[in-house]
Every structure is written in C-alpha cells, then in structure tokens.
Amino acid sequence: MRRLLSFVVLSLLASTTAHALSESLIKGVEVERLITVVKIPGEGDAFDVTLESLLVKPSTPSPWPVVILPSNCSGAEDKLWHYWAPALSQAGIAVVLEDSFGARKITNACKNAFALPYKQRLLDVHVLLRQVRADPRFIPNKVALGGHSAGAITAFMSSFSEALRKMASENLEPFNLYFGAATGCELTFRDPTLNAPLLLIHGSRDEYTRLQPCVEAIDRLKLAGQPADILIIEGVEHSFSTNATFVRGLMKWPKEGPPLFMDEFSYVAKKSTALLHDGTPIGFEEYMRKHAGFLGKNLFGAYLGTTHDKAPEVVDGTLKFLKSNGF
C-alpha cells in the first residue's frame, strides 16, 4: 500500500496528448490567443513552458479591467469558464482563460493533485499578470485572479502575501482582487495577511473540496483584520449542480487530515513540505499516506454534478464582488 500511494500521490504522470484551447471554445464572443513563455527556475533542471491562453474581449472600447481564470483540473474542459467568460465580457471586463495543465501535456490532474506543483502554477499566472499589465488594452490596477477548484486553489494561495515572499527571487507583483469557487482550503500559509480582497464561493454540499476548511480559513483571515469573505450556495456540490453522481478516481484531500501551512515551497512536488498548525513539519507524501485510509479510500472518489444549474449564482456573486471593488 505504501508503494502504491507514493506512486499515485507524487508521480508526475504526463500524457503525450492534451486539449489545446480552441479559439471557438467560448461561443458568441471575440477571442484572441495570448502566448506567454514562463521560465521555471531550477538547479540544473530549469525549463521553459509556453502558455497559450485565450483572451475574451468585451465589446466596449479598451482599456478594460481583466480577470485571469486558471483552469480547474480538467484544463480546457473547465465548464465554469462557459458561465464566467460571456457574463464578464458583457459587463465590460476582459477575461483571460489559462491552462497550465495543457501547456505541460498533463491530462491526469484530477486523479493526481500533485501532478503540477503549486509553485509552478502560481508562477504561470503571475508571469501572465506581468504581460497583461504591460498591454495598454488593460487597466493595470484592475486585474483579478479567480477560478474553479484547482484554479480557485491557485487564486487562494496567490492571495497570501507569504506566497509571494516565498517567491521573492521572481519579483512577482500581487493581483488587485482574488476569488475562488469550490476552493480547497486545507493548505494555507502561516501568515494570515492578504495581498488584496478575497472572496470564496462554495456549495454547501461540496465534499470534493469541503466547505468547513474554507469557513475556518475565512474566519482566521477576518480575525486578523483581512478583507476576506465567503458566499455559500445552499444545496449544491462541487460543480455547482443540485444533482450529483459519484465519480471514482478523483483525488481529494482526506477528510480526516488536519489543515496545513505551506513550509518549503518548491517548483518540484517532492521537495515541497508543510507544517501542521502546531508547527510540526510533515511531507505531503507522509501526510497523504497517514490519512489515506484502507487502500486509499479517503483519497479518491467524489460526488460531482453535470447540470451546473447553480453556476449563474456563482457568476452573480463574482460580478457583485468585482463591481463593489471598482471593476
């Protein structure tokens, strides 16, 4: 069992094919392809990643405020994009759809939460932020980062000032706003200081990325005087659907596992480590193995919906948050 879990949790399983972002992905809008080269640092193992993102343009004249939406673990198949992108562009907000998984030909991210190290994902969106702010079509002090599930985790982690301090050598700038829908909140940072206002949107029945850790994370941030809030949508699960079907093989944080603080923040998954809230260091492989349950039953399988019938409420909450912050 130890060998099996080690393989599943920390191996980088890459396929030779990946879904590219098609310019016809979002119907009824004007799009443009953006090319971004991200240089992943390393000692003898540095490499470049070429991101091909899609810019969804509003019909109003530029310059525009802009929202960058890194994908969930399904990459180009992210269904929430089809709700956010048209609504935001109609509201005069440009949208950039970004897929870190497809750029690396990773197709198993839903089955392996560590297929792409968090730090690489954060570097992707922050290099894209630098590119967007240099483009005169966008308003440089109105750039938000959001997303669903894995994309939401990227936004959530980026919102902490400690995250950027741990990436100080890359000279990264913070976004102006952060939001996440169905965020995994089990892993945060010890310093509860945010770079900018944060909104989390969560379904009350979500057991893939559970609600309670996010409620606790927001409470902790509020207690520290930070501009953080959570919107709970009743009766929906992870995909913001009122129906649900059990899907085997999806990797999730074990319910029995305690929350963690990020400690060693590395571009290599095996080199990243965490701290329990009492300060005890622990590796992610050790943590998952300890709380995996018999044959890993606590790590895999979750209820997902297909109708996304409450996704419009996610969009409404997002728009209210953006507008209330001057977007």
DSSP assigned state of 174:
P
Give the total residue count for the chain: 327
For the chain, domains (ranges, CATH) are 2-242+309-324 (3.40.50.1820)
- Please tell me the distance from the alpha carbon of residue 160 to that of residue 255, in angstroms, as a whole number: 24
Strands (E), the chain: 30-40, 47-57, 64-70, 94-98, 138-145, 177-181, 187-188, 198-203, 228-233, 245-251, 260-262, 273-276, 281-283, 300-304
Amino acid identity, position 169: S
Partners of 304 in beta bridges: 245
Mean pLDDT by 10 residues, the chain (327 residues): 32 36 84 95 84 96 98 93 96 97 91 90 97 98 98 98 95 97 96 98 95 97 98 96 91 88 91 93 90 81 92 98 98
Could you read off the pLDDT of 203-229 as tens digits, one per residue? 999 999 999 999 999 999 999 999 999
SS percent in the chain: helix, strand, coil, step 5? 30, 25, 45
- What pTM was computed for the model? 0.92
Q: For 305, which DSSP code?
A: -
Summarised one tens digit per residue, pLDDT across range 87-96 is: 999 999 999 9
